[in-house]
Amino acid sequence: MIPEAEQLLNAVQTHNDRIVQEKIQSRRLEAQSAITALIEKLTRLLDEQNLGQDLRNQYLYALRNAKQQVEKKTTLEEIDRVVGMAEDMVDDVLNV
């Protein structure tokens, strides 16, 4: 009975791991899309405000960096944290 249970547990774990990886990849794509939208929004805002190139680069670099960080994250929580930080960055700029 124990070998059969172990075999079943291994099969379930394999399927669970696959499902988790698919969810993580899906969330990465969603996060990158959300951050791209934030970059576009901030770019339009900065264009309207005619802020200096240095300030513009500083803000946009942080968002582009967040987009790259998403690819390196290995859990849904980490990905969500990066997106939240990116949203906070944009909010901070809007409140300046």
Return the domain boundaries, the chain: 2-94
CA 77 to centroid of chain Cα atoms: 10
CB 70 within 8 A of CB 28: yes
What is the reported pTM?
Answer: 0.83
Tally of CB atoms within 10 A around 65: 12
Write down the pLDDT at residue 49. 83
Q: Which residue has the tokens 């409140």?
A: 95
Least confident window among 1-5, 36-40, 73-77, 81-85: 1-5
Arithmetic mean of pLDDT over the chain: 91
Give the right CATH number for 2-94 from 1.10.10, 3.30.70, 1.20.1270, 1.10.8.
1.20.1270
Mean pLDDT of 15-34: 96
